Amino acid sequence: MADAAPTPMMAQYLALREEAGDCLLFYRMGDFFELFFEDAKTAASILDISLTSRGEHNGAPIPMCGVPVHSSEGYLARLIRAGCRVAIAEQVESPAEAKKRGGSKTLVARDIVRFVTAGTLTEEALLEPRRANVLAAVCEVRGVVGIAAVDISTGRMELEECAPDRMGAALARLGASEVVAPEGWDLPLDSIPRPARDFASEGGEARLKAVHGVATLDGFGMFGRAMLAAAGGLVAYLEHVGRGKLPLLLPPEARGSDTTLAMDEATRASLEILQSSQGQRKGSLIDAIDRCVTGAGARQLADDLSAPLTDRQQIAERLELVAWLHDDALLREDVRSALRALPDIGRALGRVVAGRGSPRDLGQLRDGLSGARNLHERLGRREAVPVLLTRLLPALSGHGELVDWLSRALVPAPPTERGQGGFIAEGYDAALDDLRRTSGNARRAIAALEAKYRDETGVAALKIKHNNVLGYFVEVPQRHADRLLLPDSGFTHRQTMAGAMRFNALALHEEASRIAEAGGHALAAEESHFEELVAAVVEARNAIAATAAALARIDVAAGQAERAAQGGWSAPEIVDAACLEIEGGRHPVVEAALAAQGERFVANDCKLAVYDRLWLIGGPNMGGKSTFLRQNALIVLLAQAGGFVPATRAKIGLVDRLFSRVGASDNLARGRSTFMVEMVETAAILAQATERSFVILDEVGRGTSTYDGLALAWAVAEAVHETNRCRCLFATHYHELARLAETCDALSLHHVRAREWKGDLVLLHELAEGPADRSYGLAVARLAGVPAKVVSRAKSVLDKLEKGRAQTGGLAAGLGDLPLFAAAEAAREETCDTLRERLKEVDVDALSPREALELLYQLKREAGTET
């Protein structure tokens, strides 16, 4: 028997489901978004909601789950975080329109109105206030990779080009939530394939011209073919997910690869710039320094840290503004207080332009632009204003007419939803005020009518009520219904209840119609005014976006100044010479963590120059080598981002590329062991570092055998010194590398200080000149809690190794004498070592005869010789 044909509703759903592709389909049914089949199973599991069924398909129950429309944003956020994409299918006509179109049983038409994806969010509830949400498109044109990136919540769009081997670093800088790429290309990890035809450079150029209504893009900058191709793919994808409705897209900006400090993925991960090694903001650099009072400022700070500048003049301008605010605490607090009160106008603008705006968004634009104008007046009166602020100030004003219009039109606190009206201010539209009065007088009119009906019928319990099904109706207790059922009573029976009866009346119907008509006209009038205001905002979108960007930049500068004042940070001196002179340098994240525990961070100096550009640093683990390496890299990054640095003094020669090879983990997804990852990162440094680069290397070669590791570390150090000739801090445990100082004239030896006191290791966290005398590995093991017997055994092995090396000059000499497979001999050696340690601790002169005898018996028991 053939399967029964699907119901009209299920046929409609299946057609939309096919159109949704790899997205979950939210199918609107009344006040719920329903999901069916596999979508329902997936969503129910992620959202932890009940999985039910509805009807059958091909003889089997259809799995179903649903979420309320009014609270759907929270569920959408959870699905997006879980890596899902969602298609929203809305009812595109009312039941009345469907009935008029095809009769009483006609199915309401539905269509996919939008695709919700990680990179295309604009809703306030779905976005993190302090984190940009970037969508990127990548493609390759004649050996050049083009990248287009946009944060559609604010409209900022960037285009850039790079070599194929630099694509990973560029995407790492962007931190995109979603990446699209042409089908058939060697796609980046987790990217979404899109039709290759969307990535034609000519089509991309045409799309950008159409979006911005220009005949040429020359006014925006010079864009390569690969940039335009990527932009074409990006805009085409936005048209797809928005079903033809584009979000806010500001004029594109070209980002040159030589304008920012280059960092690869490994370096960004190692330095924990925007997130810690656990993938969280807490414990990262930005978490330690962010003092911005607005979400827009925090997003701008993240962008600054992700792409520090290499232009000395631009860095100087940022530093000048930070210093200006740093030196005047009262001004700084005044600016921060003003900024703190402002809403996020950039994202409000994004929602309005995308067609998802609300009266509340218009109110935020009104308040934000008004606050910007007030800030302009405060700062504009100051003398000796920094150059950068002089350029920013004009963007804070110029919205007077729009602000005045929004102020007159909107109530002080507009609602989030516009369907119920109530957001247009009284006095703005006289006709609307009349309609509202008519609607507002409803309660009094209905109360008067209720009193009239009571008098006429003599039923004191008569009431006029309202619900969404019947509208207004008269209700009386069942025992009084007879009076209203009389033929000449003027009432018409509508509904019988258990203890009451409901009626209609001509006067009530007329009054209800008048109220409904006035209310409907009032809502229509408010909707018309809303569209007018939206049109005005859209017209001024570029100027409003410029205001939002200016406010964010001022917030970053004020926040940097606040952080510097709190931590005693200093303004760095940026020079062209290849130097790095840091006095009293600290690691901002570690220092903050220690301060929270009431402990003090030990500051250290660093001085690299052309004649002393490679420091070889030894010393024990946990002694602070890695911290010292990272803090200097972070100081360079902070300085070139245009902020003060955690140091007493800093003189920094511009760095073109920053490399960090500190720590490693395996990458099983790419089939790479820990040592392979280490070598890949090291290879990238040796291939790309220039004389203007800054490199930090930690424990190169530790992932393989001792001889191999030592040989690799030796060769890498020589290459950095002789070929790359860059500034470099090189931490190692290989003491043999100290011999390099004899042949490498720009290499110097340093170590982190440590001492052993009464068997305990004391880490001083201080840097000193000269080679380390030892690595203190066994002491660190003891400090870490390795069992005493294991440490003792390791010491005996170490003694034999060192003895063999002293006699024969070979590291492995003496291994043959080690009783590795003789358990009894091993136990004997361990016991002897333990007894020696015990005897060292005994003060013989302080023992009484009885105590000495007891000690002797105890030692015999431990030695296993007591019978």
Q: How many alpha carbons fall within 13 Å on the CB side of residue 651?
A: 9
Tell me which long-range contacts 473-478 makes (C-beta under 8 A, separation of at least 24): 473/502, 473/503, 473/504, 473/508, 474/502, 474/503, 474/504, 474/505, 474/508, 475/500, 475/501, 475/502, 475/503, 476/500, 476/501, 476/503
Tokens 């604009």 found at:
122
Tell me how many degrees the CA angle 713-717-722 measures, rounded to the nearest 5. 150
Contacts of 323 (CB under 8 A, 6+ apart): 561, 571, 644
Strand partners, 671: none
Identify any residues that bridge with 332 across adjacent strands, giving them in sequence order.
Answer: none
30 assigned to a ligand binding site: no
Give the H or E element holding residue 24.
strand 24-29
Q: Check: CB of residue 294 under 8 Å from CB of residue 339.
A: yes
Angle at 491 between CA 489 and CA 493, to 5 degrees: 125
814 assigned binding-site residue? no
* 622 annotated to a ligand binding site: yes
Reduced to 3 states, what is the DSSP secondary structure of residue 40?
Answer: helix
Distance CA 259, CA 240 (A): 33
The answer to whether the annotation marks 620 as part of a ligand binding site is yes
DSSP state of 262: B
Q: In the numeric block, which tokens belong to residue 585?
A: 């340098």
Closest CA to 347 of 74, 121, 115, 70: 121
The residues facing 26 across adjacent strands are 88
* Total residue length of the chain: 867
For the chain, first and last CA: distance in Å?
A: 92
Tokens 């304008």, located at residue: 259
Helix (H) or strand (E) holding 36: strand 32-36
**In Å, how far are 282, 284, 589, 843 from 272, measured between CA atoms?**
10, 5, 10, 51
Q: Name the residue among 16, 24, 21, 5 with its Cα closest to residue 91.
A: 16
Identify the DSSP state of 824.
Answer: H
Helical H segments across 242-281, by residue range: 265-271
- The residue among 150, 137, 223 whose CA lies nearest residue 183 is 137
H or E element at residue 363: helix 359-380
* Cα 743 to Cα 154, 465, 714, 721, 731, distances in angstroms: 56, 99, 12, 10, 18
Q: CA 307, CA 149: separation in Å to the nearest integer?
A: 14
Segments of 271-326 assigned E as strands: none
C-alpha closest to that of 560 among 799, 319, 805? 319
Count Cβ atoms below 10 Å from residue 690 Cβ, excluding itself. 13
Q: How far apart are CA 372 and CA 350, in angstroms?
A: 18
If you write DSSP's letter for every residue of 160-209 in order, what string do you get? EEE-GGGHHHHHHHHT-SEEEEETTS-PPTTPEEE-GGGG-HHHHHHHHH
- Indicate the residue type of 679: M
* 95 known member of a binding site: no
Using a 10 angstrom Cβ sphere, with 0-12 exposed, 13-18 middle and 19 or more buried, the burial of residue 283 is: middle
Nearest to 189 by CA among 172, 208, 202: 172
Per the annotation, does 624 bind a ligand? yes
Annotated binding-site residue? 626: yes
Residues of the binding site: 619-626
Residues of the binding site for ATP: 619-626
